[in-house]
Amino acid sequence: MSFPRYPKTKPSGVDWLGDVPEHWARVRVKHLFDIGRGRVISLEDAKEDGTYPVFSSQTTNDGCLGYLETFDFDCDQLTWTTDGANAGTVFLRRGKHNCTNVCGTLQVKQTAEFSLTFGLHYLSFAAQFHKRPDTNGAKIMNGEMAEITTLVPPPSEQTAIASFLDHETGKIDVLVEEQRRLIALLKEKRQAVISHAVTKGLNPLAPMKPSGVEWLGDVPEHWEVKKLKRLGEIVSGFAFSSGDFSSSGVRVLKIANIQTGKLDWSDDSYLPEEFYEQYPRFAVLNGDIVFALTRPIISTGLKAAVAKMFDDRVLLNQRNALFRANAGFDKNFLYHVLFSDSFIVAFENKIDFTGQQPNISPIYIGDIKIPVPPHDEQAVIATFLASVGEQFDTLTAEAERAIELLQERRTAVISAAVTGKIDVRSFHHG
């Protein structure tokens, strides 16, 4: 779909706006809106059920954190997130509601004729140019928002643009959601394939036997079932003194570095060079399986990964454990076992939630029983799952790229419409 350009334009005087329709006004946000802010509302105060929503900085669940039986605002207004990962995200809030203290609020002045729906689209586009560069885009405070130059078309054009964008972005959002559902289905299918392969094998005609383990069910008759600790060595991390940490030297693997299926080194810590020789038992080797043992990080379940390190010297910190498989066990097969449904269930069943924070003991991890095929069959299953994994990775990457292109299209459509690069006054949708 193509649209004409406005016949007459003028320089806006703002780099990121360029030329704009000649008859559009330019007004700073502070002259269009009364600017306010939400208040501190704790998670404990915001209940799951209630009358008046509490809106926060999150984008999930439309930003609703919970509910209160009282309200701070009884109006339609725009809000935007002032700091954090979602800084600059703009929302349209209606009726009686509450906002947390990371929400700036914009209520149209009584003297202004300005459509909040148009304003939602315009400020969502404009806010990206006003995030504080000294915070890597993590803040856009009231002062920055107040000074944003806002284009103000005549009221009838504001309505036309808002209607056009609601329609066009709605279509794009539906397509994005379809791709996200596809990614979720691919993840579920991948998990199912892994779980079936490492517990039932690849031969559908193989005779089966009870495993004796509830969450495993039946396994091939010629397989064994063994405790993890019988298949290798489990080592708990060492409680290195915080005073020993340094800015360089031997890398330390901490609980923050262990994510689901991968290591994240964005949080770097080091110990002096000589510690690697002093604490050889706690050296992490390529191919080791590392587990997070405590803190909220495991409250959502298993956090484990294969150690694939670019640094040859890594030491394991406390509250983590590693598993080093015996020479006769296929590490790639073991990796898939650890992320099978049966192992995850077993792991989560052993997490202790009675203390101040969830915790699991290396002893409990070692007691988890897993299926053990003959070594050559382990290798065949691992090769099969590696191939299947590549296929799922390809399909997932295609879906993620489709989302990226759709979101770029969404941004471009909004930008063109709210800055007057296209004339949508004649737009009608059935």
List per-residue pLDDT tens for the chain, 430 residues long.
578 899 999 999 999 999 999 999 999 999 999 999 999 988 788 888 889 999 988 888 888 889 999 999 999 999 988 877 788 889 999 999 999 988 999 999 988 889 999 999 999 999 888 766 555 545 667 777 888 999 999 999 999 999 999 999 999 999 999 999 999 999 999 999 999 999 999 999 999 999 999 889 999 999 999 999 999 999 999 999 988 998 889 999 888 888 877 888 888 889 999 999 999 999 998 888 888 887 554 455 567 777 876 667 899 998 888 989 888 888 889 889 988 888 888 888 887 777 667 777 888 888 999 999 999 999 999 999 999 999 999 999 999 999 999 999 999 999 999 999 999 988 776 5
Residue 272 has φ and ψ, to the nearest 5°, of -55, 150
What are the residues whose beta carbons fall under 8 Å from the beta carbon of 80, sequence distance 6 or more?
88, 89, 90, 91, 103, 104, 106, 123, 127, 140, 145
What are the residues whose beta carbons fall under 8 Å from the beta carbon of 257, sequence distance 6 or more?
263, 264, 265, 267
DSSP-based three-state secondary structure for 266: coil
Query: In the structure encoding, which two tokens stand for residue 170, read together?
Result: 């709605």
Chain center to CA of 165: 27
Residue 229 has φ and ψ, to the nearest 5°, of -65, -15
Name residue, tokens 């019988």: 230
Cα–Cα distances in angstroms (integers) from residue 311 to residues 120, 286, 315, in the given order: 47, 10, 11
Name residue, tokens 């709605």: 170
Which residue(s) pair with 98 in the sheet?
Answer: 54
